Amino acid sequence: MELLLSLILIIIGTKLAGHLCHRIGIPAVIGELLTGVVLGPALLGLVLHTEMISIFAEIGVILLMFLAGLESDLDKLKKYLKPSVMVALFGILLPMIFLSGAAHLFDITWKEAIFIGVIFSATSVSISVQVLKEYKRLDTAEGSVTLGAAVVDDIAVVLIVSLFSAFLNMDSGASVGGVGLLWDLLGTKILFFLGLFLFAKFILKPLISLTKKLVAVEIETALGLVLCFAFAIIAQKVGMSDVIGAFFIGLLLSKHEVKHNIEHNTSVIGYSLFIPVFFVSIGLDIELSAFKEYAVLIIVFTVLATLTKLIGGYLGGRLTHLDRDQSLIVGAGMVSRGEMALIIVKMGENLGLVSAGHYSAIVVAVILTTLFSPLLIKFAIEQSEKKNTLA
């Protein structure tokens, strides 16, 4: 009963917030994130971040990235692979250097400081996807680069976290063989993408044809959801984010005629319930008490986290011949940390790499960057549109 009441409040709150955001001309996702702050422990305390809310939120982000894959152009992503890698590279290096250095200046040990740099190197493209879709920029050069860079970023950061875990095992006396470590870091990921390629080449089309012969209600959508969840599970099993699996199977399905039916029905399922819960769940993690104790640390982390991704994305875009407006949109799209950074900071706490005191400050800074990102994307898009109008 408590879950149902929470869902009622979330659905009503996000829809009203979305309407209000539309009226005042800001991205709707801002209202959904703030709904979590208002309904959660930070203010009213009507909705708590329970295990069931976490499950609904996880399904929400998986569906969101599955839809992003369905709406993307595989050929365009291949075309912009080089800029995507360059943007991801700068977007990892700058936060690693500046956030780690800043953390150490606050008398945080080098081990924890470097891991804080890793946390803020992560990018959560799910927020950016929502804003780019809202402004019809997802299937553009800048949208493709942002998506591609975020996927590369996710994979790279997961590898870095895996390295940290391996070195911790070495420090604690556990034996980690070179071949075994290399397999854990790269082997399973390579196998995942090889399996994805073979599935797309030999199995996907016959599977779609077989599905069409079955007489069952919404069988195509059911197939899409099964594949979405299955590849999310597989990606997680090989040590990557589940959203990577969901995104890539959506991308492969986008090449087939069933795409439109799956996309429409999944949008209805996702945006009516699961996706709003995901956005609200991020706001639920805000703790106002952290502002009092770690105000300066939060401000420094938030400012540096925002600037390093914005500048890193911009530099990566410019060095690979995107124009200034496109590069600014890409940089703004990389600012959001969202669920990816929250997952990594939780892992760091479990590994003893993030102290209990700094945990809340990092979470607040992560959520603040996630709130700023949609506003930065809106600003960058509006600047681009103004120049195009004047031209």
- pLDDT value at position 177? 54
DSSP 43: T
pLDDT at 3 over 70: yes
341-364: average pLDDT:
79
- pLDDT value at position 180? 61
- pLDDT value at position 63? 94
pLDDT at 245 over 60: yes
pLDDT at 360 over 70: yes
Q: What is the pTM of this model?
A: 0.81
The predicted-structure confidence for 129-161, as pLDDT tens digits, reads as follows: 888 888 888 888 898 899 889 888 877 887 787
DSSP 27: -
Q: What is the share, in percent, of the chain residues with pLDDT greater than 90?
A: 46
The predicted-structure confidence for 79-123, as pLDDT tens digits, reads as follows: 888 999 999 999 999 999 999 999 999 989 988 999 999 999 988
Which range of 21-25, 108-112, 167-171, 328-332 scores highest in mean pLDDT? It is 328-332
Under DSSP, is residue 172 helix (H, G, I), strand (E, B) or coil? coil
CATH class of the region 1-385: mainly alpha
- pLDDT value at position 273? 94
Is residue 169 very low, low, confident or very high in pLDDT (cuts 50, 70, 90)?
A: low
12-41: average pLDDT:
90
237-243: average pLDDT:
82
The predicted-structure confidence for 312-338, as pLDDT tens digits, reads as follows: 999 999 999 899 999 999 999 999 887
Phi, psi dihedral angles at 29 (to 5 degrees): -65, -30
pLDDT at 199 over 90: yes
The predicted-structure confidence for 58-79, as pLDDT tens digits, reads as follows: 999 899 889 988 988 788 888 8
- pLDDT value at position 334? 92
Distances (CA, A) of 234 to 127, 191, 285, 375: 23, 11, 28, 34
Distances (CA, A) of 244 to 20, 40, 215, 381: 32, 29, 31, 26
Is residue 289 very low, low, confident or very high in pLDDT (cuts 50, 70, 90)?
A: confident
Consecutive H or E run containing 261: helix 259-269
CB 321 within 8 A of CB 376: no
Q: Which of 218, 179, 190, 223 is nearest to 205 (CA)?
A: 223
Euclidean distance between the first and the last CA atom of the chain, given in angstroms as a whole number: 57
- pLDDT value at position 14? 95
Is residue 298 very low, low, confident or very high in pLDDT (cuts 50, 70, 90)?
A: very high
The least confident of 7-16, 97-106, 185-194 is 185-194
